[in-house]
């Protein structure tokens, strides 16, 4: 269960009601016409889970011996799986390791390659377009490093995830490598609940059915007009994008850090656009972890320019009863007031205290409270932020799903190596 609370007001008026209705209608249209496919991923998920299960049964020996699921993919192809892995790992025993070969940074690639061996790894190569230079380069390096021959049994420990008909899918077909496809109408940053996230996470041992279920219910409730808070928040953010251009996500749990990275790419890339009037619109996401950043970034929120909204994510029950022991140490007795309380209580009281001090300052604050971290809540949280993003995009009246601005650099890069 997740609770959403808002500590700022959106004054209602006719224009706002009209904007909200329009945006809602637009999302409904996107969903029904298949303009954006992510709304249906939780429903398609059943078939995908079956497909994954077939692979596991068919390649039983490879799968049983695999200790590492190695994802080769960057950005939208890895951030989602990484986020879910970080949130849920502490709740499982006996998961396979999930490793990411992502950045073309030679030091980190070398480090990861040193941790794995061919015989105990499955390599999941993920690229929506099928031609991501970082991903294909790292894949080739893996082939060389582990002396892999794709015409041998080695092909069984490679999986491809890509758009149907993409170069990478054709490649897979040519070598008889198992490929999972990504629906064409699902963009990279909205793809975590497609094969992009579900395949590596399922192979690692996660129960992805309940993640999908959590997302499915959220999307259903949203389209049944039962999650109006999403519309209100999106509208408030968009209407005030010049006054509060920075949206801070302040999460009180270390295991949420990778999730906030997933959110940042989703929010930044979807909403940072030139709108129909030629205006540069967008909102800048920033993520912080409490209580650590209470000791620093909080100062800027409290006393710096009033250009920020703040969303707190809090986990009510960490399902861990580690306590501050009842020890009194000479000269630091002043801190004894916390003795016998749990760390769970301490970190959440810090979250509440910080929230209260920001609300008192009149800073627009809202909170997302998970009763606990489990698969369903994770799925709901993902769907929540995806819907919030789509809604904001509809209000900005932009294309939420493209990314023309990242193409310029790619062209310059190719020129650097190939010449003109």
Residue numbers 180-209 binding a copy of itself by CB under 8 A: 188-189
Stretch that binds a copy of itself, among 10-18, 364-372, 384-392, 410-418 (CB under 8 A): 410-418
Q: Specify whether the CB–CB gap between 397 and 234 falls below 8 A.
A: no
Structure tokens at 309: 């909204």
Q: Which of residues 342-361 bind a copy of itself (CB under 8 A)?
A: 342-344, 346-347, 349-350, 352-354, 356-357, 360
Q: For a copy of itself, give the closer residue by CB, 75 or 379.
A: 75
- With tokens 């993902």, the residue in question is 382
Residue 372 in the binding site for a copy of itself (CB under 8 A): no
Question: 94: how many CB neighbours lie within 10 A of its CB?
Answer: 5
Q: How far is the CB of 147 from a copy of itself (least distance, A)?
A: 11
x/- mask, a copy of itself, residues 291-320, rule CB under 8 A, reads xxxxxxxxxxxxxxxxxx---------x-x
Residue 371 in the binding site for a copy of itself (CB under 8 A): no
C-alpha closest to that of 59 among 143, 122, 116: 122
> Which regions of 324-402 does DSSP assign to beta strands (E)?
365-372
Q: For a copy of itself, give the closer residue by CB, 12 or 353.
A: 353
Q: What is the CA radius of gyration of the chain?
A: 23
Q: Which of residues 234-263 bind a copy of itself (CB under 8 A)?
A: 241-242, 245-246, 252-255
Residue 58 in the binding site for a copy of itself (CB under 8 A): no
Q: How far is the CB of 243 from a copy of itself (least distance, A)?
A: 12
Q: How far is the CB of 174 from a copy of itself (least distance, A)?
A: 5
Among 84, 168, 230, 235, binds a copy of itself (CB under 8 A): 168
Residue 281 in the binding site for a copy of itself (CB under 8 A): yes
Residue 282 in the binding site for a copy of itself (CB under 8 A): yes
> DSSP per residue over 180-235, as a string?
EEE-TTS-GGG-TTSHHHHHHHHHHT--HHHHHHHHHHHHHHHHTT--HHHHHHHH
C-alpha closest to that of 316 among 258, 377, 229, 263: 377
Residue 232 in the binding site for a copy of itself (CB under 8 A): no
Residue 128 in the binding site for a copy of itself (CB under 8 A): no
Q: Determine the Cα–Cα distance for residues 270 and 386; give it in Å rounded to an integer.
A: 10
Residue 54 in the binding site for a copy of itself (CB under 8 A): no
- With tokens 């799925």, the residue in question is 379
Structure tokens at 261: 């990275």
Q: Specify whether the CB–CB gap between 31 and 223 falls below 8 A.
A: yes
Residue 10 in the binding site for a copy of itself (CB under 8 A): no
User: Active-site residues: which are they?
Assistant: 269, 295, 410
Please give the order of strands across the beta sheet that includes 246-251.
2-6, 365-372, 308-317, 246-251, 284-289
Q: For a copy of itself, give the closer residue by CB, 46 or 352.
A: 352
Among 284, 316, 369, 397, binds a copy of itself (CB under 8 A): 284
Q: How far is the CB of 318 from a copy of itself (least distance, A)?
A: 5
- Residue 97's φ and ψ, nearest 5 degrees, are -70, 145
């Amino acid at each position: 269960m997740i609770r959403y609370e808002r500590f700022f007001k959106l004054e209602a008026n006719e224009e706002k009601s009209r904007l909200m209705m329009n945006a809602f209608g637009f999302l409904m249209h996107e969903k029904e016409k298949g303009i954006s496919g992510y709304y249906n991923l939780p429903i398609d998920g059943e078939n995908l889970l079956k497909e994954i299960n077939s692979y596991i049964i068919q390649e039983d020996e490879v799968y049983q011996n695999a200790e590492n699921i190695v994802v080769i993919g960057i950005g939208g192809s890895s951030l989602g799986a990484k986020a879910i892995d970080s949130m849920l790992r502490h709740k499982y025993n006996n998961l396979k390791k999930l490793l990411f070969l992502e950045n073309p940074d030679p030091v980190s690639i070398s480090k990861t390659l040193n941790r794995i061996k061919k015989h105990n790894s499955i390599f999941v190569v993920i690229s929506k377009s099928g031609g991501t230079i970082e991903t294909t380069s790292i894949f080739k390096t893996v082939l060389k490093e582990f002396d892999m021959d794709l015409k041998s049994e080695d092909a069984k420990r490679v999986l491809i995830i890509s758009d149907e008909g993409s170069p990478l899918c054709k490649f897979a077909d040519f070598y008889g490598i198992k490929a999972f496809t990504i629906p064409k109408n699902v963009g990279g940053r909205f793809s975590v609940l497609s094969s992009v996230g579900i395949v590596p996470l399922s192979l690692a041992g996660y129960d992805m059915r309940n993640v999908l279920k959590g997302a499915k219910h959220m999307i259903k409730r949203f389209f049944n007009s039962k999650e109006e808070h999403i519309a209100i928040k999106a509208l408030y953010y968009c209407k005030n994008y010049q006054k509060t251009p920075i949206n801070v996500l302040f999460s009180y749990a270390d295991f949420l850090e990778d999730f906030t990275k997933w959110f940042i790419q989703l929010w930044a890339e979807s909403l940072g656009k030139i709108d129909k009037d030629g205006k540069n619109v967008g909102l800048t996401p920033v993520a912080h972890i409490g209580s650590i950043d209470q000791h620093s970034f909080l100062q800027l929120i409290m006393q710096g320019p009033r250009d920020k909204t703040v969303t707190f994510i809090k986990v009510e029950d960490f399902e861990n009863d580690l306590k501050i022991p009842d020890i009194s140490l000479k000269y630091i007795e002043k801190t004894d007031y916390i003795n016998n309380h749990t760390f769970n209580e301490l970190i959440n009281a810090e979250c509440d205290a910080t929230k209260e001090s920001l609300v008192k300052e009149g800073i627009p604050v809202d909170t997302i409270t998970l009763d606990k971290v489990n698969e369903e809540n994770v799925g709901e949280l993902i769907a929540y932020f995806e819907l919030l993003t789509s809604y904001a995009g509809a209000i900005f009246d932009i294309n939420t799903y493209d990314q023309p601005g990242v193409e310029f650099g790619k062209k310059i890069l190719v020129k650097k190596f190939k010449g003109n």
